[in-house]
Amino acid sequence: MAKGKRKELFEYDAKILIALGEAINRNVKIHNWLLKNGYPELAAFAAALQADEAAFTWLMTHGFNHLAAFCNAVDNDEQAKSWLIQHKFNFLLALLDAIEENPQAMAWLRKHDLKIFVVIVQKIKELKDQQHRDYSDYHSIHF
């Protein structure tokens, strides 16, 4: 993909979105497949959701600021959410609302037959819930 072109998530083929969901679930084989088959932005997106700072920086320096902002917004960064609003990334905002368990957002995804995004939302929510459990359990902190 050309640097600077902001492709929305809904513009990807379903099989690529399924792969994204697997990469979010930390499937290394699928993550590498995304990297090697022309979807480095999705590999970086999945890694950035997993708190990989290098992946986040890659998104920012390769024209995928919207995906980086989404990653921060998922972690309750109000400035990132405001950026998404200001730049009219309405679909990402709908996903964010769904992750935050807004019933209207989930209903909207289902109404528009966007089942793959219902699955992706659930995977992101599970990832973030696990991260929060890990952060609150001092036994899992690596010093």
The whole-angstrom separation of Cα 115 and Cα 123 is 13
State residue 3's pLDDT score: 47
Residue extents of the structural domains in the chain: 12-140
Q: Within 10 A of 75 (CB to CB), how many other CB atoms are there?
A: 12
Looking at the predicted structure, is the pLDDT value of residue 137 above 80?
A: no
| Long-range contacts at 114-120 (CB < 8 A, ≥ 24 apart) | 114/10, 116/14, 116/17, 116/18, 116/21, 117/9, 117/10, 117/17, 119/21, 120/9, 120/17, 120/20, 120/21, 120/24, 120/95
The whole-angstrom separation of Cα 66 and Cα 68 is 5
State residue 106's pLDDT score: 93
Task: Specify the range with the lowest mean pLDDT, choosing from 50-54, 76-80, 92-96, 135-139.
Answer: 135-139
